[in-house]
Amino acid sequence: MGLGRRQATWAVRGLRDEALPLFEAADRGIVPLPEVIEPTVALKPLTEAREVVEDYTSMGLSLRRHPFAFLRQDLARRQIATCADVRAPRDSTWLTVAGLVLVRQMPGSASGLIFATIEDETAHANLIIWPSLFERQRRTVLSASAVACRGMVQREGEVIHVVATNLIDLTHLLRQVGQQEESFCMPNTAADMVRSSGGPDSRIQRTRDIPDPDLRGGEASM
């Protein structure tokens, strides 16, 4: 349309279906009086990061860069792998991965297991959260918009999971995207925490033989 997002929003908010009463009373002629002519305003364009924030606020997604792309240098300094990196290690490798939380599922037939999917600018990764970890970190599991997960890679053919031993809420880092003061807006998904009474879930079958890391003394630090 030839206008930046901020300039377009300013123009749209200036539109009204009817004239303001004071100006309508003052403007009785064909040509608007000077006091009702709004001066042209040149607003500073939004940064790319802020454009992404506005996309998520209005639509819950963005066709621009992923929010984690703006945080990658900071995450790399913390030795946090990308979601794409999860595909490379061998089975039972320990790593830390992070991303936006897309969905959390607790199938009724999973004996308390929670399956979560996170996403960064490279790919998505599937997490397995055991009931013992859920009880310790319930708030993070249920409310975090972004998490870092320390866990063990579990490969079963083409299916790859990270069996979580510790989670860190990274929601506060999202405020750095676009230098915003308010919380980053992530839409709730209808599948969050769904308890399903349907047929067997293939993911449950693949995880039955994986012991809870808390019971095997696995790495739990991040």
Give the pLDDT band of residue 200 (cuts 50, 70, 90): very low
pLDDT at 136: 95
pLDDT digits (tens, 9 = 90+) for 39-78: 777 788 888 888 888 888 888 888 889 999 999 999 999 9
Pick from 71, 51, 81: which is nearest to 174 by CA? 71
What token pair was written down for 169?
Answer: 């809420």
Assign domain 67-216 one CATH number from 3.10.105.10, 1.10.3720.10, 3.40.640.10, 2.40.50.200. 2.40.50.200
pLDDT for 16 equals: 64
Which residue shows structure tokens 């997490």?
Answer: 127
Q: Look at residue 168 and tell me whether its pLDDT is greater than 70.
A: yes
* pLDDT digits 0-9 by tens, 77-135: 999 999 999 999 889 999 999 999 999 998 876 678 999 999 999 999 999 999 999 99
Phi-psi region of 45 (alpha: psi -120 to 50; beta: other; left: phi over 0): beta
**Out of 9-18, 157-166, 192-201, which region has the weakest mean confidence (pLDDT)?**
192-201
- Answer yes or no: is pLDDT of 191 > 50: no
Instruction: Dump strand ranges (E) for 130-169.
Output: 146-156, 159-169
Model confidence at 31: pLDDT above 70: no
Looking at every residue in the chain, the average pLDDT score rounds to 79
Helix (H, G, I), strand (E, B) or coil at 53: helix
Domain spans, the chain: 5-45, 67-216
What is the percent of the chain with per-residue pLDDT over 90, rounded to a whole number? 41
- Which helix or strand (DSSP H or E) is residue 105 part of? strand 94-105
CA distances from 147 to 70, 160, 168, 206 (A): 16, 18, 5, 24
Average pLDDT of the residues in 14-42: 61
> In which element (H, E) is residue 118 found?
strand 114-119
The C-alpha torsion from 113 through 118 and 72 to 150, rounded to 10°, is 10
Amino acid at the residue 36: V
The identity of residue 120, as a single letter, is D
What b/e string do you get for 43-76 counting C-beta neighbours within 10 Å, with b at 16 or more?
Answer: eeebeebbbbbbbbbeeeebeeebbbbbbeeebe
